[in-house]
Amino acid sequence: MTKPELPTQYTPADVETRSYEQWVADGRFHADSGSDKAPYTIVLPPPNVTGSLHVGHALDHSIQDALTRRARMRGFETLWLPGMDHAGIATQNVVERELAKEGLSRHDLGRERFVERVWQWKAESGGKILGQMKRLGDGVDWDRERFTMDEGLSRAVQTIFKRLFDDGLIYRAERIINWCPRCLTALSDIEVEHSEDEGELVSIRYGDGDASIVVATTRAETMLGDTAVAVHPGDERYAHLVGTEVELPLTGRRIPVVADEHVDPEFGTGAVKVTPAHDPNDFEIGRRHDLPSLTVMDERGVVTAHGPFEGLDRFEARPAVVAALREQGRIVAEKRPYLHSVGHCSRCKTVVEPRLSLQWFVSVGPLAKAAGDAVRDGRTVIHPPELAKRYFDWVDDMHDWCISRQLWWGHRIPVWYGPAGEVVCVGPDEEPPAGYTQDPDVLDTWFSSGLWPISTLGWPEDTEALRKFYPTTVLVTGYDILFFWVVRMMMFGLYAMDGQPPFRTVALHGMVRDQFGKKMSKSFGNVVDPLDWIERFGADATRFTLLRGANPGSDVAISEEWAAGSRNFCNKIWNATRFALLNGATVAAPLPPPAELTATDRWILARLNEVITEVDGYFEDFEFAKVSDALYHFAWDEVCDWYVELAKVQIARGGEEADRTRLVLGHVFDALLRLLHPLTPFVTEELWRALTGEDSITVAAWPGADPAYADPAATAEILALQDLITEVRRFRSDQGLKPGQRVAARLVGMESSPVSAHEEAARSLLRLDAPSGAFSPTATLTVQGVTVEIDTAGAIDVAAERKRLEKDLAAARKELAQATGKLANAQFMSKAPEDVVVKTRARESQARADIERIEAQLAALPAT
RNA sequence: GGGCGAUUAGCUCAGCGGUAGAGCACUCGCCUUACAAGCGAGGGGUCACUGGUUCGAACCCAGUAUCGCCCA
């Protein structure tokens, strides 16, 4: 035999790097846009260039790798396209921190040199995650790796900006936007995270005597910029004040009291202060009542006016203003702590400041409608469907998207301003008029990652890749960025590609959590580092653990114990295949027709067929937990625990039966390894090469179910055999017989039982010797029509046996009572479907037979 | 405040109208010549609560409670 020797333990580190490098060198993951095969495309959600592989990526990537590996095996021209996004704020922050160590700010370098410095950083330390993806085994097409700041992708950004601008879908306006006073840039709504924070609610009396009114606020310092007080028009308490003015404390200014429908008369005093320059709702009230907007803070959140408060940070100004008001006796009530929702910058956690400023926006109306319609009419399917509702809630009520960022790292807004205030949007091949200056801002990173499915394939050029691989087959991502990113890609893809959506299916998975279902967080100390797991348990075990918990759209709990379990599974497959190889398993000849095979062979092949069908269905539904579970059970509980043990008996017989068994073993392991390959690529590659002598399982055909091997009779026969063996094992265990201890036994009635063909197998698995001359059985039990008379080689533990039998008897009696009860119920008999009645009858007669058998055995037991 | 989801064995989760399941953990016995990262056997659940529909409910409906998530 020329098969290589395999060690008794699978060591992932010995094979992973070698296999991965071989796959890449052999171009296994390269997709050919000129191929005749049908396409299967996934674009990788681009990780952040500053990022590193965390366990959430590991889940996301494991799913995509499983899908693309299977697609490749099924004969699709399969593209899994990798790359990164430039992460404007995050990357700029990283490089600015580096500069700060040198005592420099980006302003010291100037824009051009700063951007050069960022590129330099990217070349040296960016994109660590790409190397980490190789450790996980990601079968991505490295030849097509893209970065959102690449020339081609930048061209795509400029092109779509120009088109949207020319279509009137991009505009510039002065609005209240979310502003980060630390990052010094505008943020979109989705870059703001809300949390319930402790603050204060202070009630302040404006005006005096009859002309006074009390307002409540969590942001007392903004009162410096108040330009009105608003009440509900129907609120009789304040009707006499509407249209009058009250004095604004500390400032001496007089401000009007206005009536506005949007004031909630139930909240607080029913009167609200109006600060149009520092609150989005107040801004709207201001617009409706033509109020002035008074900006009282600068870009860093420092108060810019009003004598004693000037120069104070907003959080210093707040108590200072309250103290000053208190001194004047204007504080009517104070509630502290007061829990309310506060927005934070998703990048640096600084409290966001609503700020009035001039920014660029995408008018999302028609784009969002198209994105909603594409899902409504089924051009794109969201999976699982329950999550589609969230998608609709978002797209159907989407606010205009603020896309300008006051950063240097990113795609610069392609708009130029003339000396007389002219505004020109410049396309990719156009030159701005002489003397014009470009807008200093850059675009939101999501603006370029929104183009990912088209820009990575070459858009705006009409490339072969775009024609071949667009629309992509499926997008795999977490439900948490359904509206961050998916919606943007839908809007841009539909707009740029004439209504062709970027994905046929969006498959959403959940978040990875710890073993108690808790969110992973650094402060909680429960974060799993996938690279640590890859080193300790192997990439396959890491992937399998994640996939095994991946039910569509729901969170995945994982723990080290479960990773160890997955490692054990890989090792089990390793050793089972090793057994097969040591026993001459082969795929060198075709599988014999069913008629030439034993019931045992036919059973495992029938089960294999069923499992293939089952697994295919689960894959189509993105049921990775079920795919994993089905294969785990088939491999371990059926192939290893039963078929391999029974095959030993067949091989021991020698001759043609042994040869046929070797073919069945080879065939079963060949198929099993292929089925597992998308989940656990490394161990299956190594074993499959050893089993078949071929180059790579990555290009092996995906197994197909063969109806010729369906065999309910063989299946029933083996189930009966398993029942017999399990029952006798249970008896042995109850009697304290050690597993390896051989005892003599007579199997009576074997010939007429359903397991007549399996006496040798039963004796082998049960360690039962043929009775010798002086055979005197000490116990008997009857299972599947076979009466097993055993010489237990010692005193029988009658008490244990009685206990066992009485337990079984009680269960059988309960079963009988239930079945009889149902059958005696006229309602049940007339209304229940026929098959249920038949089943219940069968249960009843089975229970009767069991009771009779057990009672006979009890009666036969010697008295204690 | 609005919406969504969950509540099943110690933990994490399947099951979604007809005998309560899995993995891990647990107990007992085993180095039985593929595997101790293993083998064999076993214990463990009034399916959150209260009503209703049905011949029959973990599953469908209504309400309650608790938890989680998203949005405002």
What pLDDT, in 10s, does the model give residues A306-363? 778 888 888 888 888 888 888 888 888 888 777 777 888 877 788 888 888 888 999 9
Q: Which pLDDT band, with edges at 50, 70 and 90, does A574 fall under? A: very high
Residues 558-597 on chain A lying near strand B, CB distance under 7 A: 561-562, 564-565, 567-568, 570-572, 575-576, 578-579, 582
Q: Would you state the pLDDT for residue A864?
A: 57
Residues 23-62 on chain A lying near strand B, CB distance under 7 A: none
**Three-class SS state of A775:** coil
Q: Would you state the pLDDT for residue A135?
A: 94
Q: How far is the CA of A266 from the C1' of B61 (A)?
A: 36
Nearest nt by C1' to A835 Cα: B18
Separation CA A243–CA A258 (nearest Å): 6
Q: Would you state the pLDDT for residue A575?
A: 95
For A613-664, write each residue's pLDDT tens digit. 999 999 999 999 999 999 999 999 999 999 999 999 999 999 999 999 999 9
Q: Of A431, A438, A383, A440, which is closest to residue A410 (Cα–Cα)?
A: A440
Query: In chain A, pLDDT over 70 holds for what percent of residues?
Result: 99
Q: Would you state the pLDDT for residue A795?
A: 67
Is residue A523 over pLDDT 80? no
Query: Which of the residue ranges A112-121, A392-401, A710-719 would you say has the lowest mean pLDDT?
Result: A392-401
Separation CA A687–CA A693 (nearest Å): 10
Residues 723-762 on chain A lying near strand B, CB distance under 7 A: 726, 729-730, 732-734, 736, 738-740
Separation CA A488–CA A496 (nearest Å): 12
Rg, chain A, Cα only: 36
Query: In chain A, pLDDT over 90 holds for what percent of residues?
Result: 49
Structure tokens at A379: 């051009």
Q: How far is the CA of A257 from the C1' of B72 (A)?
A: 26
Is the separation of the CB atoms in A48 and A57 below 8 Å?
no
For A37-78, write each residue's pLDDT tens digit. 999 999 999 998 988 888 999 999 999 999 999 999 999 999
For A545-556, write each residue's pLDDT tens digit. 999 988 888 888
Q: Would you state the pLDDT for residue A678?
A: 97
The per-residue pLDDT of chain A, averaged, comes to 89
Q: How far is the CA of A574 from the C1' of B38 (A)?
A: 13
- Amino acid letter, residue A229: V
The DSSP secondary structure of A152-205, one letter per residue, reads HHHHHHHHHHHHHHHTT-EEEEEEEEEEETTTTEEE-GGGEEEEEEEEEEEEEE
CA distances from A764 to A371, A460, A655, A789 (A): 65, 70, 19, 16
Q: Would you state the pLDDT for residue A416?
A: 93
Is residue A3 over pLDDT 60? no
A510-517 mean pLDDT: 86
Residues 341-370 on chain A lying near strand B, CB distance under 7 A: 341
Nearest nt by C1' to A731 Cα: B41
Residue A671 CB partners (closer than 8 Å, separation 6+)? A608, A612, A703
Residue A336 CB partners (closer than 8 Å, separation 6+)? A200, A201
Chain centroid offset of residue A240 CA: 58
Q: Which pLDDT band, with edges at 50, 70 and 90, does A1 fall under? A: very low
Q: How far is the CA of A846 from the C1' of B19 (A)?
A: 12
Q: Which pLDDT band, with edges at 50, 70 and 90, does A793 fall under? A: low
Is the separation of the CB atoms in A278 and A354 below 8 Å?
yes
Residue A432 CB partners (closer than 8 Å, separation 6+)? A416, A424, A426, A438
Residue with tokens 């410049």: A426
Is the separation of the CB atoms in A474 and A507 below 8 Å?
yes
Q: Would you state the pLDDT for residue A726?
A: 93
**Three-class SS state of A715:** helix
Q: Is the CB of A841 under 7 A from strand B?
A: no
A410-422 mean pLDDT: 92
Q: How far is the CA of A730 from the C1' of B43 (A)?
A: 14
Q: Is the CB of A189 under 7 A from strand B?
A: yes
**Three-class SS state of A603:** helix
Separation CA A430–CA A436 (nearest Å): 13
Is residue A741 over pLDDT 50? yes
**Three-class SS state of A299:** coil
Q: Would you state the pLDDT for residue A762?
A: 93
Q: Would you state the pLDDT for residue A32?
A: 94
Q: What is the ipTM of this complex?
A: 0.95
For A236-295, write each residue's pLDDT tens digit. 888 888 888 888 888 888 888 888 887 877 777 888 888 888 888 888 888 888 888 888
Is residue A18 over pLDDT 90? yes
For A655-688, write each residue's pLDDT tens digit. 999 999 999 999 999 999 999 999 999 999 999 9
Nearest nt by C1' to A765 Cα: B32
Nearest nt by C1' to A842 Cα: B19
Exposure class string for A674-711: b at 16+ Cβ within 10 A, else e? bbbbbbbbbbbbbbbbbbbeeeebbebebbebeeebbb
Q: Of A150, A295, A174, which is closest to residue A226 (Cα–Cα)?
A: A295
Q: Which pLDDT band, with edges at 50, 70 and 90, does A414 fall under? A: very high
DSSP 8-class letter at A358: E
Residues 190-209 on chain A lying near strand B, CB distance under 7 A: 190, 194, 196
Is residue A781 over pLDDT 70? yes
Q: How far is the CA of A561 from the C1' of B25 (A)?
A: 9
